[in-house]
Structure 1
Amino acid sequence: MSSERPWLQQYPEGIPHEIDVDEFPSVVSVLESAIELYKERPAFANMGKSLTYGEIDALSRRFAAYLLGELKLKKGDRVAIMLPNCLQYPIATFGVLRAGLTVVNTNPMYTARELKHQLVDSGASVVLVLDNFGHTVQEVIGDTQVRQVITTGLGDLLGFPKGRLVNFVLKYIKKMVPEYRIPGAVRFNEVLKRGESHSLPGVEIGPSDIAFLQYTGGTTGVAKGAMLTHRNLVANMQQASAWVGTNVKPGEEVIITALPLYHIFALTANGLVFMKFGGLNHMITNPRDMPGFVKELKKVPFTAITGVNTLFNGLLNTPGFDEVDFSRLHLTLGGGMAVQRAVAERWKKATGVTLVEAYGLTETSPAACINPMDLKDYNGSIGLPIPSTDACVKDEDGRLLPVGEVGELCIRGPQVMKGYWNRPEETDKVLDADGWLHTGDMARMDENGYFYIVDRKKDMILVSGFNVYPNEIEDVIAEMPQVLEVAAVGVPDEKSGEVVKVVIVKKDPSLTAEQVKAFARENLTGYKHPRVVEFRTELPKTNVGKILRRELRDETAA
């Protein structure tokens, strides 16, 4: 078998070739074993307040009891969670899972259009939203199946008087909470209080139950929900913890969680893997405030950090970062987008720790390949397939390609999603009969089993680790009556890897770039906004009239 899987020869000592997927039947059983082992240990910390594993246990039980006892939700019902990193996130997420329900992770920065699509598509019955984003929910709630809205303020779990102060400052001084009114909405703390009067029934949760509907653009513009089962997530947690485990001290780890937990990378790598080790997730609510982020890092004796290239780059360029104490740091994991060599080398120099690159997708829960943890220096590779994972490179006709040849990267393993929610034909496009997931990324494998991403098959644009799909941008901009034709492409950007550029053929000669940007601001999340707007008299096309985005990209590159 090893001749077909050359990467196994490269595994560091102590890492198994296969993991035990059946050790835990569900994410809930992982949580419960962590609670048993680490009851008194802090589990999650944010804004100066921390909750122990025991407190997470009690509070998530109450949240679950409210959903089942008061709202009478049925097994498999969907609950949308629209929160940044804050203490309410783990309580709600574990509460939903313990109730045998499905979490629909929802980006709080969504515009009304994007939010409505996700709530309608998932059929969510409940949505939990931070006050800062309540106005977006108010706008669309009438067009969805949601029957209960739960609202919360960032300060709600910080205790008195700090919590009240935080909520007051956000609303009245920083003006970060627009007015909204949602009749019948219940406050989060009230939900926890009501949950106490209900007992939590024993809920049968099986490996094939859907734990998360994790939305991704996949290969087309409209976001699709990847069905990630309890088994998918347990498998990926077992794989990743086996991979980093030789490097980790159970009950002693403190991981900086700056990427949002609603993103699959932080959810699994930080939230689940470090929970299994009894670690403390130190959550950063607004990592975009780099000076504030660095100030926080100076206070925390952290041992691990995950992030995307732009995050590491931002930290390295923030004054005061060189004064952070890195003496306990032993693990830095980069994913979500390509790590740039210059950033990896600067990180190693500043912290003394190698920035280890990993590769994954929403559809693989997410980890598929990771570099060895004892890697001395950045190597430009996405690493080796992790335990119980197969990877290969195929050509257009699905034939296996030999070492060194470039083709589509395909992944197979217990972490591969069940499929896309209510979209069998989209599922069939990416999952073949032999269980291979076609990633849409072009890659090659070297003779040692290391994989290298060469290019993307799709025209996807990657802005700071977030997928941006040209179709979606084009659909929105094309709604402008002054626009005749539009194409969206990614152009290189030092700060975020890529930014969106739109090339437009005008219908109305008076159309300006500023009008296009203003329209995008109303209809698209920040990272999807076109930063560059170019006008032309025509767009390059194929003989059947398909716009050649690649040509536009090549021209920009040239």
Structure 2
Amino acid sequence: MPYTPVNSYDGDLKIWSGESVSHYFDPHLSIGQIIFQEMRRHPQLVGQISATENTVLTRQELHANSMKVATYMRFLGLLQSDVVGLIGRNTTHMPAVAYACLFNGIAFHSLNITYDQSTIEKLFNITKPRLIFCDGDEFEKVRAATASLDVKIITMRNHPADSISIDEVLATPIEENFQPARLEQGNDQTLAILCSSGTTGTPKAVTITNSRQILAANHQLTTADIQYSHNTLDWITGLLTTVTSGVFSTTRIIADNAFDPAFALRVIEEYKVTWTIQSPSSMVMIASSPEFENSDLSALRCFQFGGSRVAMEVQQSIRSRLSSDCLQFIYGFTELGALASVNCHFDEKPNSVGRLVSGLKLKIVSEDGQSLGRGVMGEVCISNNQYWAGYYGNQLETRNLRDSQRWYQSGDLGYMDQNGFLYIVDRKKDMLKYMGTMYYPHDIEFVISEMPDVADVCVFGVWDQINGDEAAAAVVKKPGSDLSAEDVVEYVSMRTDSKFKQLNAGAIIVEDLERSANGKTNRMANKAHYLQVKGRS
């Protein structure tokens, strides 16, 4: 049965609350300690399959590899105050590196492989890792970016001649009577460091607390489940998949290639995947793939997606191929380190991100900081009442995001309906004004996404000295369509009589939307591309 959150509402304080947290494991154990003991409980189960490198590891073998890497780190004298850098694909031994860090109580700082040398340099200069695991594909870039640091670099695949190979690390004998470390700061200690989406500049280094909250909404996973996510460890969903597979003893399917919808469909069918989490862009590609209609997705019992919206037509298309009602729109943000809500009621509440998971509280806040009641839009604020170390080395931005009462100010605008279901409307910073009238890009994106030939869309404001923010759109058409920019502008014109919600600055057709490294649509980058195409500054 899917996890169905139950929420309560305090009408006086105007605060919604999830259920109390149930402790399935000793609450004093760290995530690393739980994974260590669970791996020992199920040694013969298949723990991991690489669909690209054609490797199969039992949990015993994965456990042994993790201890070897952890022993290697101990041999180098790494302390819990140190940081390990990761920048690689989902290769066979990357999960073992992550588990090794968890066993040692050492936070890893994971970066996306697409980051340029300058961004890598800026980010690793913040956390100053002593050890970095990367793919040989990025070795020279990483070495140049970290030239000023005292760091040892180990490659995970395609090993350059002058690099240390992961195979050399795995030759390390396991420390006698190896045991996972007790966390010096308890479960307030940082588990991992990921990166913010970076849509407004250099990404920030986001600390993730060693909290049991990361397991919320996935306690239904068992040893019978097959998990698959193409997301790497620099995504919160990649971290979530790595942790839940270790904790709940599932079989995890990994792959080190770039996301390909036909490949993803083949993985789900061939390995009878029961649980997957996908980005909106991946869903669009899957639903538009020629292989989609003939793929067998019947084994899936949980199909989660989140990060941004997906056109209802795409949701319905994917849902029509599932044998059970298991398409779940989820909401969360990296800084929270976990899911915030999940929608298990597609028919009753389409496009809602659902109800709060256990352990969280939520309020909707006005511009002047007042809590708002049901049905009123404002900024979504969430509290897990737990310690958070904030943005690594950036206390100013930390204070801007989380107040003294431990409320995260998400920057998302939304509202709660009468039944306690959350709806996300837009990003607060994306608000536009046309001749003094406020509107949001999503208002127009929703209209455009209804067009049968539209696969994806991003709307943004183009500044006009007289009118203010004139809406423009970058549109991805479906394969084989002859949709034109003029068709899009005309369709929007026919669907609304509000002058400010017209595409007053026009539209362009693009092969794909500009995205941040984590796959989210980058509104600023799409606007910059539009201005370049139109020859405007």
Query: When the two structures are superposed, what TM-score results if normalisation uses the length of structure 2?
Result: 0.75
Deviation at 1:326, TM superposition (A): 2.3
Is 2:109 the partner of 1:113? Answer: no
The CA RMSD measured in Å over matched residues stands at 3.5
The answer for the alignment partner of 2:39 in structure 1 is 35
The answer for the alignment partner of 2:66 in structure 1 is 60
Check conservation: 2:330, 2:341, Cα contact below 8 A: yes
Deviation at 1:195, TM superposition (A): 4.7
C-alpha offsets along residues 187-246 of structure 1, whole Å, 9 cap, x if unaligned?
101011135478756622221221111111578523211221212xx2221x2224xx2x
Query: Residue 285 of structure 1: which of 249, 253, 256 is its match?
Result: 256
Is 2:412 the partner of 1:408? Answer: no
Amino acid at match of 1:18: V
Amino acid at match of 1:34: E
The answer for the alignment partner of 2:209 in structure 1 is 229
Spell out the pairing of 1:48-87 with structure 2 (5 A cutoff): 48-69=54-75, 71-87=76-92
Secondary structure of 1:240's partner?
coil
CA distance in 2, matches of 1:109, 1:257: 18
The 3 A distance-change label for structure 1 pair 92 and 491 is: farther
Check conservation: 2:156, 2:165, Cα contact below 8 A: yes
The answer for the alignment partner of 1:188 in structure 2 is 166
CA distance in 2, matches of 1:335, 1:379: 14
Deviation at 1:346, TM superposition (A): 0.6
CA distance in 1, matches of 2:175, 2:37: 25
Check conservation: 2:87, 2:135, Cα contact below 8 A: yes
Secondary structure of 2:61's partner?
helix
The answer for the alignment partner of 1:204 in structure 2 is 182
The 3 A distance-change label for structure 1 pair 138 and 198 is: farther
Spell out the pairing of 1:409-424 with structure 2 (5 A cutoff): 409-414=380-385, 417-424=388-395
Check conservation: 2:279, 2:305, Cα contact below 8 A: yes
Check conservation: 1:307, 1:335, Cα contact below 8 A: yes
The 3 A distance-change label for structure 1 pair 37 and 414 is: farther
Query: Residue 151 of structure 2: which of 142, 147, 152 is its match?
Result: 147
CA distance in 2, matches of 1:340, 1:366: 24
The answer for the alignment partner of 1:551 in structure 2 is none
Is 2:133 the partner of 1:135? Answer: no
CA distance in 1, matches of 2:249, 2:369: 43
The answer for the alignment partner of 1:26 in structure 2 is 30
C-alpha offsets along residues 271-295 of structure 1, whole Å, 9 cap, x if unaligned?
2223322211111333533333333
Check conservation: 1:97, 1:211, Cα contact below 8 A: yes
Check conservation: 2:154, 2:164, Cα contact below 8 A: yes
Query: Share of identical aligned residues, percent?
Result: 21
The answer for the alignment partner of 2:447 in structure 1 is none
The answer for the alignment partner of 1:97 in structure 2 is 102
Spell out the pairing of 1:282-431 with structure 2 (5 A cutoff): 282-352=253-323, 353-372=325-344, 375-376=346-347, 379-414=350-385, 417-431=388-402
The answer for the alignment partner of 1:533 in structure 2 is 531
CA distance in 2, matches of 1:345, 1:104: 37
Deviation at 1:331, TM superposition (A): 0.9
The 3 A distance-change label for structure 1 pair 5 and 361 is: farther
Secondary structure of 1:193's partner?
coil
The answer for the alignment partner of 1:483 in structure 2 is none
User: Unaligned 5+ residue runs, structure 1?
Assistant: 154-166, 168-176, 463-467, 471-486, 497-519, 540-558
Deviation at 1:339, TM superposition (A): 2.7
CA distance in 2, matches of 1:83, 1:339: 28
Deviation at 1:350, TM superposition (A): 1.9
Deviation at 1:115, TM superposition (A): 0.9
CA distance in 2, matches of 1:274, 1:194: 25
Spell out the pairing of 1:507-518 with structure 2 (5 A cutoff): none
CA distance in 1, matches of 2:382, 2:372: 14
CA distance in 2, matches of 1:494, 1:356: 24
Deviation at 1:112, TM superposition (A): 0.6
The 3 A distance-change label for structure 1 pair 220 and 92 is: same
CA distance in 1, matches of 2:177, 2:133: 21
Secondary structure of 1:194's partner?
coil
CA distance in 2, matches of 1:109, 1:286: 13
CA distance in 2, matches of 1:118, 1:195: 33
Looking at secondary structure, tell me which structure has more helix per residue. Answer: 1
Deviation at 1:537, TM superposition (A): 9.7
The answer for the alignment partner of 1:544 in structure 2 is none
Query: Residue 215 of structure 1: which of 184, 192, 195 is its match?
Result: 195
Check conservation: 1:64, 1:195, Cα contact below 8 A: no
CA distance in 1, matches of 2:38, 2:365: 40
Check conservation: 2:19, 2:357, Cα contact below 8 A: no
Q: Give the paired residue count.
A: 450
Check conservation: 2:46, 2:59, Cα contact below 8 A: yes
The answer for the alignment partner of 2:218 in structure 1 is 241
Secondary structure of 1:351's partner?
coil
The 3 A distance-change label for structure 1 pair 141 and 381 is: same
CA distance in 1, matches of 2:261, 2:199: 32
CA distance in 2, matches of 1:91, 1:456: 36
C-alpha offsets along residues 472-494 of structure 1, whole Å, 9 cap, x if unaligned?
xxxxxxxxxxxxxxx9x994544
CA distance in 2, matches of 1:17, 1:81: 34
C-alpha offsets along residues 458-480 of structure 1, whole Å, 9 cap, x if unaligned?
24999xxxxx9x9xxxxxxxxxx
Deviation larger for 285-294 or 425-434: 285-294
The 3 A distance-change label for structure 1 pair 434 and 254 is: same
CA distance in 2, matches of 1:367, 1:391: 13
Deviation at 1:22, TM superposition (A): 5.6
The 3 A distance-change label for structure 1 pair 299 and 150 is: same
CA distance in 1, matches of 2:228, 2:536: 48
Deviation at 1:146, TM superposition (A): 4.0
Amino acid at match of 1:355: L
Deviation larger for 451-460 or 414-423: 414-423
Amino acid at match of 2:64: A
The 3 A distance-change label for structure 1 pair 351 and 146 is: farther
CA distance in 1, matches of 2:348, 2:70: 45
Secondary structure of 2:218's partner?
helix
